[in-house]
Structure 1
């Protein structure tokens, strides 16, 4: 009769409120957005159907709430979000990587290159263990090693030097190496001639002669002769082909045979009588 009476909760529209209907005079609540129950086409309703990091709108639609850790940079205070590292350059010039912290801010740049990694990179000139040839001066070869901080080459260290016993470029000798007869090797690795008896040159105070050339001499008997240079570089005996009895007056002779003999004279033992 559409009039709520007796024990009726409703009748027709009488006694029926919002989001209700009357069935057999009994009130039945109808689902609606805001009743705290997810139903029908609703994504959510209050807390019902609302997962973490979402809110439920007044229209029962899920709305995402960005947060640090959702793998997406979606808040002004975030520098990063996720596990992917990013390349960076350190103050000393080396390349590095940085990772995203739990606060979605980049951590410190960590080197992936360094002096000693056997690769010349960043500000490096060379790597530890590297060597190269160099010129230490004086015509010798040398070698230099990479400095401990990879910033450049160390001093040039000779690999050759005068006194190493090896005949190197620019040297005439070194110790016994390159030494030739009648020479010595000086402190600066040059050959120096050592005069000796037999070098055909009178170049020592003890030498009277040196060589095969004889010299003219006079014997004690006054004869003209020659003397040869002995192995000791002293003159040998004066030898003459002239003698008393060779029929030639020479030397200290007054006569020899008939040579030098006048009238009424005779020659005995090369002396005129």
Structure 2
């Protein structure tokens, strides 16, 4: 009887995961093709972190979504190297003079975070889906933030005068995914908010990750809940998956 080939077995399992499984062996080492794949993935992750966002070009694309002309702000981290070495500077704004208070229900900040590539590839698509899912609310003109950490949004949200802030930010790249976005939702944003005051929706990078439409749907449910509860964070739970199973 012909024995099954191990490579064929692992190939079927790889269809359900982006993890590196069943890499094989060439003598006492990995096959050359697997080593090269790893190096390529590592290089892509490094590029995703270090290649800066073209803020002016990206802002022009954001304006086409129809939420108004975006302001562009930067954190106090003056370079990408400083941003990576000094997370504290990425949480503080250099200036908020470009932001006009709108007293709107919602505000969006599109931040480069640890993957400007993710924001460039998925930011406009996700913002468009959020606009459609949240059409019942008043929405302030968006803000594009560079060298930004999540907490920079607290300063921006307060300056915008919005009740709920949605930060769309590039997530830390890994060796499987270098272009993933996250959403961080904060109700009544102000400096001093902690991660316990936020809700996160992660792994947004279609077609392999979460879709724009599903992320927007969950965000809409969380925003509705935050407005009803008067707060976001650990007190606010996303129950959409459980409700879907019960249905």
Normalising by the residue count of structure 1, what TM-score does the alignment of the two structures yield? 0.16
**Which structure is higher in RCO with an 8 Å CA cutoff and minimum separation 6?**
2
The structure that has the greater radius of gyration is 1
